[in-house]
Structure 1
Amino acid sequence: MTLAHNLAKHAAFVLTATLALAACRGEDPLTSATGSTETSTSGDGTSTTTGTDTPTTTGTTTDASSTTGDDSTTDVTPTTTNMSAGFITTDTTQGTTGPGMPQPNGGMCQSDDDCESANCYTSPLFEGGICSECNEDSDCVRAGTGISCSLGPSGATCAAGGYGNQCMSQDACQDGLVCGPAIDIPIPGILPDTCGECAESADCDMGMICSPELDIQAFSGAKKCVEPGSVENGALCPLGEDDADAACASGKCGEVDIMGFLTVGVCGECKTDADCMNGTCTPGSLGQGGAMGSVCE
């Protein structure tokens, strides 16, 4: 496994665990199994095919003994793919279009030619691509359907460039919003930028703090201006900034290590054992269920 593949895998973990914007990718996105079929010929010359279909990476089988006299190929099992990559989970049946035929939105692809929409959205978060309404912001502008091409659970769609929408440039965000990373990571380009209220606290009104905010259910995340002391335990905080502790209701923005790849801030009860009145500070965590802040035990 290459270094680039590992970095993409770890970055996918961070985004999905915190975004939905996601979980560590784990297994490769394409899985396969084979099914069996039985064909019988009745006395009137008609044939009947029975059996149990299970997901497979090949959708056609040829059985010369099951034909009615001419050479034919019977499509017995639709192809089902599970793109469990980063924050994408898509079960797509592709057998209806036939092998080599352009796929509808949500189908797997390697190039634009593979898609009915002529838009194959690719990302470092997953192998291959997914047929989508768009694969860049300009597609939406030309179609008059939005200014932002945002990746969601079933592919990329055009959006209005509002808070939390993805952006490839500042032009993809509505006035007053800033295109930038929801989470600062050391490898640029792995995670998509999003439209947020700020890039740093200086962009916020007096006294407010620029802090990352993530909504797993809405598949959205961006940086938001928050009141000091308003971020509850278990939510992200702007680790590394001078006002990181001040953002948390507990006054403690603790470090959470992600598989040794990067460190994010999560509000919790403590940062060290000294904060726990002779107890032990158990660090926070970040996983598929979301973030958890540190606790005194």
Structure 2
Amino acid sequence: WVSQLQLQELTQPDPSNRTSVGDSPADLQTLAHDVIRGEFGQIRRLATRQLVTSADAARRTVLMLVADAPETPVHTEKCILYLFELGANPRAADANGDTAAHLAARRDHLRLLTLLSFDAKWLRNDNGATPLMEAARTGSWKCAKHLLHLLRQKRFNECRQHGNLKRSRLLGLKDLEDWTASALARLSGHSELASYIKREMRLIVDARGRISGLTAQVSDICGADAAAAEQLCSNFPLAFAGGGGSTGTAAAGQGGRLGRAAASGNPRQMRPA
């Protein structure tokens, strides 16, 4: 079974990931703005390993500054991947314990969130909140659905070893005030998102990856192909999304490199062209 220690290892941030303050905060801001605009040529000229792994006075790295942007163009993907090439740490936390995943979830910045590794998406901040809780609190539909649907995939829920236990424990985590993600959504006035999360919590994944509570067609696809499952599940109950547009990998780059990164949960599987 999933022990409390294993769960803590997955969600507990490492204190050593508080990045040290660098000597060039202005360069850090400039680099972040270039990434947000997708200016790859500028980034190649300015970015260094030292700059990418340093932080500003609030302990925010360039990856965090980009995560805090509300929206980015599609070619920002290549720029973000280049930051990983130079050593950007997706598990790094700022002065509040927030990681890039927490900041992206608040902003509903799906493009960046999908590029982070799976283990960087479930860390707690200083308030005990995971990125899913932040997405729930701010009503960030796209990021919430992405995180929920990752846990339908065998490679992440480890259903062969744990059945539904790892998935249910991650979905049932509480912050320091004892609120779950679904409760935070409800308290923040996002009742439809709260219902969506609760429905996801009621689903059961067995040791073979079969999902109870979905239609037979969706369940078969989820068990057979992770990428197809993420794409389909992201589009599954669009009526709950408040209208308009697909989410998950479909929204961030259907069929492209970004889609493959989201399905694998590992940004290092892709390299800038």
Q: Which structure: greater strand fraction?
A: 1
- Under TM normalisation by the shorter chain, which class is it? under 0.3
Q: With the length of structure 1 as denominator, give the TM-score of the two structures.
A: 0.25
Q: With the length of structure 2 as denominator, give the TM-score of the two structures.
A: 0.27
- Higher relative contact order by CA 8 Å / sep ≥ 6: 1 or 2? 2
